[in-house]
Chain A
């Protein structure tokens, strides 16, 4: 019986999701349990230019995809964030599109992803220098 349950669990399509970077997603942010692979559109983020972020979030050890994602950014050295608020929509399970980001200064910005799953939130960050 136990063996049968294991076989059934392994076959369940929603239970396991590969956590590999999709092609073209060069940037990565990590939290303890999740990886967020992302890319900007346009790809070169310029000071003062609005851009979007396409993100794919997954559990590092496999499992169901996160069901929500918040996207923000800040300049830790200057103790301020963006002057715009990104809106995020879920394009597919684990796949999100954030619009309306803008970095208004050159320097090191930190992307902040709040990955949500079943009421839990975990934060993944990634620093990026904008020139």
Chain B
């Protein structure tokens, strides 16, 4: 009944006529809009990570996230690219760790809601995704031995590790890989907590669902018009679906995938990497004995069209994570909007999907779409991220041994 009230209200109009031309949403658009919530989502624990959601593991993960010693040179931490004060990214087109990398650093807001991790989905869990930059020769350049040695040698880290896992990092080098995996699981437990707050869009969406016309009308008219394009003729919500504005899958959006010295195969190589990854959910380190979380890995299908496909990013806080696309090709949200406005279908795979067509937006319509995207910003996000800088509390001093 409530839904029908909402639909009836939406079909009428949600903006006062005096403020400009009222925006009307049809039934299909309303259904799609309602699917973008409620927000925030209830935090889900990762069954493949036994310390997911555990406070002691979150504390350890937070310490590790900002720990430069995890890289052998002592200069690169996770926060080096995923800077808290930059919305968990680095504002660069392409990332720079120890060396240069071909892809843009994705923001970590709400990353725990993903199905696949990384632009190519080469990881099937957040904890295995955390291992990748630690070991990558151009990101942090460490190995399991270095990580385990660091955890054993640092009293603070060792103390936090013991609190998270019930025993200190195993002394034997034969257990180095186990210590690496546990560290990554603690990192994942921390990163799962990076959930963005409510936005002006969420208030509008909830008002729409409740049938509260006055509350809905507080949503800026230009954002409403942009939402109309997003959910309507833009078909953006087909891929940017659901509460996190991402269907979590992979698409060719006509962005060139040539990189210095070759091509970036995107999802195609991601599936190969996933299958070869000893830390994937089919391997011995998953804590999900039911095997349920590994369903996606067991059934993932490699297809020719995966070449040049990259993951649909979430749009929550998108305003704060410029530059955009997998290779940081676009500096502004308007650049992104204009790309989809003028997209050339002949640049998409011939065996790819027939979903993207040039929108031919007017300048005003492009502004409206950008206004809508900006309405997905949590106004408290930057403050919340800044509060999560390195933790200065002590563990070792407070633990009697």
Q: Give chain A's interface residues, CB within 8 Å of chain B.
A: 47-48, 50, 75, 77-87, 99-100, 102, 104-107, 131
Contacts and interface: CB of A to CB of B under 8 A. Distances in A.
Contacts of B115: 48
Interface string B250-267: 100000000000000000
A75 B251 CA distance: 14
Given A77-B354, A80-B353, A48 B298 contact: no
Given A78-B353, A84-B300, A48 B295 contact: no
**Looking at chain B's contact residues, is the secondary structure mostly helix, strand, loop, or mixed?**
loop
A54 B123 CA distance: 30
Interface stretch (B160-168, B207-215, B237-245, B391-399): B237-245
A46 to B, nearest CB: 10
B352 interface: yes
Given A48-B248, A50-B295, A100-B298, A106 B238 contact: yes
B89 to A, nearest CB: 24
The 7 A-B pairs with the shortest beta carbon distances in the complex, nearest first, are A100-B299, A85-B301, A80-B353, A84-B299, A79-B354, A104-B249, A78-B353
Contacts of B241: 47-48, 105-106
Contacts, number: 65
B247 interface: yes
Nearest to A80: B353
Contact of A80 (B296, B299, B352): B352
B32 interface: yes
A33 to B, nearest CB: 29
Contacts of B138: none
Interface in B17-35: 31-32, 35
B355 interface: yes
Interface in B90-106: none
B352 A47 contact: no
14 contacts: A48-B242, A78-B353, A79-B354, A82-B301, A83-B249, A83-B301, A84-B301, A99-B295, A102-B299, A104-B248, A105-B239, A105-B241, A106-B241, A107-B238
Contact of B242 (A47, A50, A99): A47
Nearest to A50: B295
Contacts of B299: 50, 84-87, 99-100, 102
Contacts of A47: 35, 241-242, 247
Contacts of B146: none
B86 interface: no
Nearest to A101: B299
B329 interface: no
B295 A106 contact: no
B305 interface: yes
* Centre residue among B242, B301, B305 by max chain A CB count within 10 A: B301
A11 B239 CA distance: 56
Nearest to A75: B353
